[in-house]
Chain A
Amino acid sequence: MTTTGEITFKTEPFVLNFGPVHPSTHGVYRMRATLDGEVVLDIEPVFGYLHRGIEKLAEERTYTGFIPLTDRLDYISPMSNNLGYCLAVEKLAGIKVPERAEYIRVIIAELQRLANHCIAVGSFLSDCGAMFTPFMYMFREREKILDLFDMVCGQRLTYNYMRIGGVSQDIPDEFLPALHKFMGTMPGMIEEWENLLKQNEILLARTKGVGILPREMAINCGISGPVARGSGVKWDLRKADPYSIYDRFEFDIPTGEVGDCYDRYRVRVEEMKQSLRIIKQAMEKIPSGPIRAEVPHLIRPPAGEAYAHIEAPKGELGFYIVSDNSIAPYRCHVRPTSLINLTALREMVKGWKVADLIAIFGSIDITMGEVDR
């Protein structure tokens, strides 16, 4: 408060609602931000605008019938959700997946990681104000991956491809040549994006040192995936707890050092390169054989509980399923990566500007379908 003569100037923080309808809240997320001019003093996240009660719906569907609904969780990367859920049920029922199906799953899951990071990086850069150019370039690459998914399962968004004990259909004959062609173009495209913005001074100024998430805090908040790895937590479930057949492939875990927005962006791009490596190895080794174990359609897993987690593109995605030996799960809990990754947002944005709030939020990469479920 400043006083000049008789006039008294008073400043007070004001509350600004970001969302639920806002260009860069990635869906219907809402933050009640308390601002002091341009500086963010505090935010309060408000969820629930997309709550559909998927966990309750699971209790009324058969084990197989829930797979289409897992597509609707994280709708940017539904294949990973399919995979996580199927792994959980397989763990519960003790099903061994045929070799070819495992390879197909790995290829598809890594393609899904590429597709998700295209969106994550693209929308993060456009949140930094890059006028949709990187977004468009990355969407173009995602489009090529979606073409491949379309070829495999007949849909471009809600795949419903993985099945308990394998995958629904074998990959068609033209899939591997097309994948080969895609693998030929992708490294060049990644290089193009790197030229576009990697060293751009404005982007560096906007993201370097902004929204630092310290390592200890990342662990304490249960952050996983590229956000945690950006903070220097070398934790990747594909290495730490190899599910499926990930222990057969060679790849590195890229990590950041500082934990700022730029590190998270870099980690995602580096992860895309590692995914390409995994796909290349899997393509070479893919065996022939059955693609699905003998599993009844209305499977009744023995009573018990199981938790299976995968390294989804956004982080640790887990399914905790309790069975009572009926055709439907007794309880199905989804460990929502996006929701838990948002825990640290409040601490990360305090003291930064409004523009940084958007950039930091964009760098976490959430999907509202998974946050609200």
Chain B
Amino acid sequence: MAIVNFMNNSPLPMQVTPADWPGGYWWHWVFFTVILIVFVLVMVMGAIYIERRGLGRMQSRLGPNRVGPFGLLQPVADAVKVLLKENIVPNSADKVVHWLAPIIAFVPAMMIFAVVPFQNGALLADLNIGILYVIAISSVSTIGVFMAGWGSSNKYSLLGAMRNVAAVVSYEIPLVLAVIGVVLMAGSLSLNQIVLKQDIPFILLQPLGFLLFFAAGCAEINRSPFDLFEADQELVAGFHTEYSGMKFAMFYLVEYGEAIAMSAIITTLFLSGWRGPLLPPWLWFILKILIVFFLMVWTRTTFPRARIDQLMALAWKFLLPLALINLFITAIQVLVWPDALPWILIFINIAIMVILILLWSKFFKLGWGRIEV
């Protein structure tokens, strides 16, 4: 049974199904639902803490350090403050849409975690189409964001929401194509199976796929350098300009929840999930999530923001062709040399990545300039 497995901390790489069907089934569900909610909330708080402290230190300042030891309770204080604030709905807003938007954005961010394995078999639902589910669910948040932008009846919000829809629609494609490379390597759509197949982390076998997935993922979940939807220098706060109090907290939660979810997916697909020596698997998993998240914080600190047309051009002219080529090469490798030594493949794939990026850097200009008006 999954729970037992989770408790026993067993590294056995085999698929465990619930033993006693009805009772165990429901226990399994309740247990993991609670675990997931707690996990997401705690991780979001950790992520906020890491982001603010990391940003602070990289910017040569301290970051929050007053609430609790080392400022660890700052996210809690923030949450309490935000929850106690007055909830303001603009007069001309579409009330129902304005109310519904945070919920619709929030639910999918939580639902992604249902298929993410914390350990072998330790997951809420081991769907055999796990990664498909993730792709499908993660883009539902966009509807919430768009509703927020539309319902606020604010031009800044609307611009932000429009950008979001445009970007997510474009970035789904390279995202999916990058995933397919991994799926081809693993031979399964189930996240648990993908992890089990990763004796060598797929980041080494699929370096280009990792880069593409990371870039597309950042754009999809609104992380810098592609955080155009709430670009504070341009659009004040983008789609959530008119939100306050509880509803704003939900959007805040979505933002970090999605970041954590994306880190978890990257960990699972490319960094061999919960697998690792010495430490217990769930700890490995959390560590890897935090490392990926830190990478996001790091890029956020360093990079300026891309423009919307450059963002779209990056998706269609840079990521999409590279993803297609990557998929093609992976397919050939899987078909022709299924038993090739992995180290040779790693070497070949990294060489291919470097060559492709050099070529694309040389020949493609992304974005266009002035439009005659």
Contacts and interface: CB of A to CB of B under 8 A. Distances in A.
B159 A354 contact: yes
Nearest to B361: A201
B63 to A, nearest CB: 12
Contact of A136 (B59, B155, B224): B59
A129 interface: yes
Contacts of A127: 233
Contact of A23 (B61, B163, B233, B308): B233
A352 B370 contact: yes
Nearest to A208: B369
Interface stretch (B34-42, B116-124, B180-188, B297-305): B297-305
Nearest to A38: B308
B92 interface: no
Contacts of B58: 133
**Size class of the contact patch on chain A:** 35 or more
A131 B55 contact: yes
Interface string B146-159: 00000000011001
A192 to B, nearest CB: 11
Given A352-B370, A354-B234, A358-B233, A129 B60 contact: no
Interface string B275-307: 000000000000000000000000011111111
A271 B224 CA distance: 30
A351 B307 contact: no
A136 B231 contact: no
B303 A202 contact: yes
A326 interface: no
A306 interface: no
A209 interface: yes
A16 B158 CA distance: 11
Contacts of B162: 37
A200 B307 contact: no
A202 B305 contact: yes
A132 interface: yes
A67 B68 CA distance: 48
A197 interface: yes
Nearest to B224: A131
A41 interface: yes
A40 B369 CA distance: 12
A215 interface: no
B78 interface: no
Given A16-B155, A352-B370, A24 B233 contact: yes
Contacts of B155: 14, 16
A371 interface: no
Interface string A111-147: 0000000000000011111111100110010000000
Which of the listed residues B225, B236, B303, B370 has the most CB atoms from chain A within 10 Å of its own CB? B370
A269 B295 CA distance: 29
Contacts of A210: 369
B363 to A, nearest CB: 15
Contacts of A129: 224-225, 227, 231, 233, 303-306
Contacts of B159: 16, 38, 354
Contacts of B156: 16
Q: Which 7 A-B pairs have the closest CB atoms?
A: A129-B305, A136-B59, A128-B304, A351-B370, A130-B304, A24-B233, A129-B304
9 contacts: A23-B233, A129-B304, A129-B306, A131-B224, A133-B302, A202-B225, A205-B367, A355-B234, A357-B234
